[in-house]
C-alpha cells in the first residue's frame, strides 16, 4: 500500500513554517526554549508570534479556499477575491476612520474593516442579482471594486502625512501587531464559516457543468452562484478586517491545487487550495519579517510578488 506523499509534504511544510514563525526574529527563540524559555521570550512567543502564526495559517487557508470558490462558481481561473468588493470595502472603512478622525478606538479598527468588507461584498451581491451569467457577475464585481477603490483614493487624497503612513501598511496587507484580541475576533468567524464551505461543494460541481446543464438538472443556478459568492465574501472579509487586503493568494493557491491534481474536481481542490493558501501566507510573512530586518516590510508586497511570478509560470505552462 503506497503512502501519499503530497499530504505529508504539505503537513511538514506547514509545521516547519509555523515553527520558524515562532522562533525566528528579534529576539531569536530556540525551539527547545519555546516552552521553557525566560519571561521575555515567553511574552514574545505567546503574546505576539503565536496569534500571528495562527491568523496567518487560518487566514491564508480561508483566502485560498475563497479563491477556488470564486473561480469554480464563475468558471474563470482568473477570478480573484479582490474582484468582489470585499478587500476594497475593508480598506475604505478603515481609511474613512483614520482620515476623517471618526470616534472609533484604534483596537476596533479591525472590526470596522470587517464591517466594510461585509458591506462591499453585499453591495457586489446586490448588484450581481441583475447579472444572469458567470461572466456578468465577474464584470459587476470588478465594477463595484473599481468604484470603491475610487472612493478610497478620494479619501486618501485628503489625508495628511501621518494619516497616510498609518494607512499604508494596512492597505498593502500585514500581520504585524496582531495579538490575541484580533485573533479572537477572526478565528471564530473562520471556524463558523467552515461548514458553509463544505456545503458549497455540491453546488460547485453543478455550476462547473455550465448554467444550462446545471439548470436542466434542477439547480437554481443564480441562487447557487450567489450563495457561493456570499461564503467567499465572508471568508475574505474575516481576514481583510484585521490584516488588510492580502493580494494574489486567492489566485495562486487554486492554481497550485489544480497543478497538483489536474484531473480532480472541486472536492479535491478545495482542501489543497486552503493548504497552499496557508503555505504561501506563512512563507510570505516570514519574508516580510526577515528579509530587511529589523525593518518589517508589508506582507501583501511579498504575496503579490510570489503570486505574479508563480501565476505567470503556471499559466504559461498550462
The pLDDT score that the predictor gives to residue 208 is 77
User: Which phi and psi angles does 175 have, rounded to 5°?
Assistant: -100, 5
The pLDDT score that the predictor gives to residue 2 is 43
Please state, in angstroms and as integers, the Cα–Cα distance from residue 177 to each residue in 75, 277, 306, following that order.
Answer: 37, 21, 23
How does pLDDT run across 93-147, given as a tens digit for each residue?
Answer: 888 887 887 787 766 777 787 788 878 878 887 777 766 666 777 788 888 889 9
Mean predicted confidence (pLDDT) in 80-84? 80
pTM: 0.88
CB-neighbour burial class of residue 228 (10 A; exposed 0-12, middle 13-18, buried 19+): buried
Domain limits of the chain? 5-317
How does pLDDT run across 197-229, given as a tens digit for each residue?
Answer: 999 988 887 777 776 776 776 677 778 888 888
- Of the options 3.90.230.10, 1.10.3470.10, 1.10.10.10, 3.50.50.60, the CATH number for the domain spanning 5-317: 1.10.3470.10
Amino acid at each position: 500500500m503506497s503512502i501519499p506523499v503530497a499530504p505529508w509534504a504539505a503537513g511538514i511544510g506547514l509545521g516547519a513554517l509555523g515553527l520558524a514563525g515562532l522562533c525566528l526574529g528579534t529576539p531569536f527563540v530556540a525551539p527547545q526554549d519555546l516552552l521553557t524559555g525566560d519571561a521575555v521570550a515567553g511574552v514574545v512567543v505567546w503574546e505576539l508570534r503565536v496569534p500571528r502564526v495562527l491568523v496567518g495559517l487560518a487566514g491564508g487557508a480561508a483566502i485560498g479556499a475563497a479563491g477556488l470558490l470564486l473561480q469554480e462558481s464563475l468558471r474563470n481561473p482568473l477570478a480573484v477575491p479582490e474582484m468582489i468588493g470585499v478587500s476594497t470595502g475593508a480598506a475604505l472603512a478603515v481609511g474613512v476612520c483614520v482620515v476623517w478622525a471618526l470616534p472609533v478606538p484604534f483596537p476596533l479598527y479591525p472590526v470596522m474593516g470587517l464591517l466594510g468588507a461585509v458591506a462591499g461584498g453585499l453591495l457586489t451581491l446586490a448588484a450581481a442579482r441583475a447579472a444572469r451569467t458567470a461572466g456578468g457577475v465577474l464584470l459587476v464585481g470588478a465594477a463595484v471594486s473599481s468604484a470603491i477603490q475610487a472612493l478610497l483614493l478620494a479619501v486618501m487624497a485628503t489625508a495628511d502625512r501621518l494619516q497616510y503612513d498609518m494607512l499604508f501598511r494596512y492597505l498593502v496587507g500585514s500581520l504585524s501587531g496582531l495579538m490575541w484580541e484580533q485573533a479572537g475576533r477572526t478565528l471564530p468567524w473562520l471556524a463558523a464559516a467552515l461548514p458553509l464551505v463544505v456545503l458549497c461543494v455540491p453546488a460547485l460541481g453543478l455550476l462547473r457543468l455550465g448554467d444550462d446543464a446545471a439548470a436542466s438538472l434542477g439547480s437554481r443556478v443564480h441562487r447557487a452562484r450567489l450563495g457561493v459568492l456570499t461564503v467567499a465574501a465572508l471568508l475574505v472579509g474575516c481576514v481583510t478586517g484585521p490584516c488588510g487586503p492580502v493580494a494574489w493568494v486567492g489566485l495562486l493557491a487554486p492554481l497550485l491545487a489544480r497543478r497538483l491534481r489536474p484531473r480532480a474536481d472541486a472536492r479535491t481542490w478545495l482542501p489543497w487550495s486552503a493548504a497552499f493558501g496557508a503555505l504561501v501566507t506563512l512563507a510570505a510573512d516570514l519574508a516580510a519579517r526577515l528579509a530587511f530586518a529589523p525593518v518589517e516590510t508589508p506582507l501583501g508586497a511579498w504575496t503579490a510578488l510570489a503570486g505574479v511570478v508563480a501565476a505567470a509560470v503556471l499559466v504559461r505552462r498550462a
